[in-house]
Amino acid sequence: MPILSAEALTKTFETGGDATRVAAVGGVDLAVAKGEFVAIIGASGSGKSTLLHMLGGITRPTSGRVVLEDVDLAMLDDDALALIRRRRIGFIFQRYNLLPELSLLENVALPLVLDGHAGSTCDERAIAALEAVGMAGRATHRPDELSGGEQQRGAIARALVSEPALVLADEPTGALDSANSARVLDLLRELVEQRQQTLVMVTHDPAIAATADRTISMRDGLIVADTAAATGVA
Ligand SMILES: Nc1ncnc2c1ncn2[C@@H]1O[C@H](COP(=O)(O)OP(=O)(O)O)[C@@H](O)[C@H]1O
Ligand SMILES: [Mg+2]
């Protein structure tokens, strides 16, 4: 049984006053096994982010469906969907998306706070998550006091703090130099592997995709290739 599947998934955007329609995703079928690391690769505008957002319940599809851990996301109202996003899915963005007015600790604890956990539990788990990414020493710092690589490590801690089944990352190293990029990537891969989490990562970098178990290539909103790594499993 796949942990995540998409069936005939489409997303069409209506843009501008002339109601031009853009088929960002044109019909995607996909099944991801538990523990798999899947890279999604493709040119800018090929629909990678739109697909990832639908897989993560951020964007509702125009048609088709997404099933995560046997739950059909289309059956959920907005509140129930928000709950799944908070508890079962960790999202990592290119621009980190840490809240600027909160400390790193508060940022990482936020998913747990929103989920109604006791303050002491939130802090303990957030500290543990920061330790896992080597950032516990910066817990009281605000995001603007941290480098890009440090912010992304903090964002990884935030994504993993709720121990989600599925981790989705959209160009997580796209704003980093090559040294930080390698560090963030190694860390992310190591952590999801330790926790037996499933990782779907969008990247436009073939060298990064080559480190995945499986690479899915997109063009014009469609999957045009889906290949297991020579030494990987899929
Ligand atoms: N919110 C939106 N409104 C209108 N068009 C969009 C929106 N989001 C994405 N698109 C369009 O959908 C296509 C795919 O975009 P996207 O999924 O962001 O591609 P990628 O992540 O591969 O660069 C592009 O043509 C883009 O302009
Ligand atoms: Mg994108």
Summarised one tens digit per residue, pLDDT across range 35-52 is 999 999 999 999 999 999
pTM confidence score: 0.94
**For 130-174, what is each residue's pLDDT tens digit?**
999 999 999 999 999 999 999 999 999 999 999 999 999 999 999
Domains of the chain, residue spans: 4-228
> 178 C-alpha to center of ligand 1: Å?
26
Topology adopted by domain 4-228:
Rossmann fold (3.40.50)
204 CA: nearest ligand 1 atom: 22
> Pocket around ligand 1: residues whose beta carbon is below 6 Å from it?
13, 15, 22, 24, 42, 44-50
> 122 C-alpha to center of ligand 1: Å?
35
Question: Which strand (E) or helix (H) includes residue 4?
Answer: strand 4-15
Decide if pLDDT at 229 tops 50: yes
The residues, any chain, with a CB within 8 Å of residue 224's CB and separated by 6 or more, are 217, 218
Among protein residues, the one with the nearest Cα to ligand 1's atom 27 is: 45
Closest to 35 in 3D by CA, of 72, 2, 7, 70: 2
Among 9, 22, 94, which is best to mutate for testing ligand 1, by the most ligand atoms less than 8 A from CB?
22
